[in-house]
């Protein structure tokens, strides 16, 4: 029991910096996910002596700095508690000489696991509607002056009802100040500027989202940004047999441009490029198995308004339209979840 109310029941995952448990909030009698800061290369635990962690010799400074970053993640997620599409933090505290983060328990699989259920590739007509709430959520995250910096299939959860959640804000940073940022790189999903301490912004998360789309569509990891700068081959999804409209494919490729100035800059712009057809710039079309629903929505944002994102209404309205496409994938997701459970 930690925090006086959370009973740890099962280890869900062990990473370099922590352990995630499935737990039970005994006060509210509901499942939760509890993340414990436990960097195994800095600390150890003597089970016979109790649950407290103990720093290895000479690692106290690193541990204290790392725990402060862990608590910063918790504070970041609390700021985003009202943003749909982002995992919700319910509590965080220090105990046992370390720190804990209590989140909603998500009954689902990450996109990497989901792609296995689709045979390694998620069809565009399933993936793109499913990712719409994540792009919308990131737009709202950016409006709060934060960038995620670690977007990948591992950090996007698809739940059994077909909804999605963005998780793991351990590398999130505030863009409202001019301080240099730590390096944060995940092979294939990190933008070139993430290999430097400056120059990161909303466009950095655009790269991560588009790299994730590329991976889920093709089943192939995008080449590292630095390798691409040196001329590594980078085939288009359509060249790998992916069935996708050309204008949506081009939006993904523009979001993966190596040069910041040429890349799609904001989630607002990425949304319009992915979900507003190039013919009228007003129509979002979602095709269902037995019916076709065509809904028009006018986006009259000027360039300056799009950059400032001061009026989120167009995105919110469009989100409601695109979310109608989730009806089509819920039954598919249920089938995939069943296949994964049977393995």
DSSP strand E in the chain: where?
A: 6-14, 18-25, 30-37, 43-45, 53-55, 89-95, 98-104, 108-110, 146-147, 156-159, 164-166, 173-174, 283-287, 292-296
Q: Residue 119 and residue 242: Cα distance in Å, rounded?
A: 13
Q: What separation in angstroms does the CA of 83 have from each of 80, 89, 147, 202, 308?
A: 5, 11, 14, 17, 18
Contact 111, 126 (CB under 8 A): no
Long-range contacts of 171-177 (CB under 8 A, 24+ apart): 172/73, 172/76, 172/141, 172/146, 172/147, 172/148, 173/146, 173/147, 173/149, 173/200, 174/145, 174/146, 175/142, 175/145, 175/146, 175/147, 175/200, 175/201, 175/202, 176/145
> How far is Cα 231 from Cα 228, in angstroms, rounded to an integer?
5
Active site residue 150: yes
The catalytic residue among 25, 104, 150, 154 is 150
The values of phi and psi at residue 131, to 5°, are -85, -10
The position carrying tokens 């009698």 is 29
Cα→Cα distances 319→140, 207, 294, 322, 325, Å: 12, 21, 14, 5, 10
Strand partners, 159: 108
* Beta bridge partner(s), residue 227: none
Active site residues per annotation: 150
């Amino acid at each position: 029991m930690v925090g006086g109310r959370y009973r740890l029941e099962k280890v869900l995952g062990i990473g370099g910096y922590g352990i995630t448990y499935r737990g039970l909030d005994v006060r509210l009698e509901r499942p939760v996910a509890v993340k414990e800061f436990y960097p195994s290369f800095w600390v150890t635990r003597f089970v016979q002596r109790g649950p407290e962690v103990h720093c290895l010799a000479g690692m106290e400074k690193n541990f204290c700095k790392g725990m402060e970053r862990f608590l910063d993640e918790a504070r970041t997620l609390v700021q985003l508690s009202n943003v749909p599409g982002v995992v919700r933090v319910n509590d965080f505290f220090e105990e046992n000489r370390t720190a804990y983060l209590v989140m909603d328990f998500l009954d689902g699989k990450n996109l990497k696991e989901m792609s296995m259920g689709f045979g390694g590739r998620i069809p565009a007509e399933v993936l793109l509607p499913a990712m719409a709430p994540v792009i919308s959520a990131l737009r709202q995250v950016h409006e709060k002056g934060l960038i995620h910096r670690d977007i990948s299939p591992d950090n996007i959860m698809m739940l059994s009802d077909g909804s999605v959640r963005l998780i793991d804000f351990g590398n999130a940073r505030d863009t409202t100040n001019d301080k240099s940022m730590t390096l944060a790189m995940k092979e294939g999903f990190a933008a070139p500027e993430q290999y430097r301490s400056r120059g990161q912004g909303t466009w950095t998360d655009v790269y991560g989202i588009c790299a994730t789309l590329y991976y889920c569509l093709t089943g192939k990891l995008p080449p590292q940004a630095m390798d691409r700068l040196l001329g590594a081959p980078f085939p288009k999804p359509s060249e790998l047999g992916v069935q996708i409209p050309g204008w949506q494919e081009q939006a993904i490729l523009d979001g993966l441009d190596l040069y910041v100035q040429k890349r799609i800059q904001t989630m607002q712009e990425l949304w319009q490029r992915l979900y507003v057809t190039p013919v009228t710039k007003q129509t979002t079309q979602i095709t269902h198995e037995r019916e076709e629903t065509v809904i028009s929505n006018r986006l009259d944002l000027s360039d300056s308004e799009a950059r400032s994102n001061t009026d989120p209404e167009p995105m919110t309205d469009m989100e409601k339209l695109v979310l109608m496409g989730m009806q089509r994938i819920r039954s598919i997701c249920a089938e995939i979840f069943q296949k994964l459970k049977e393995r």
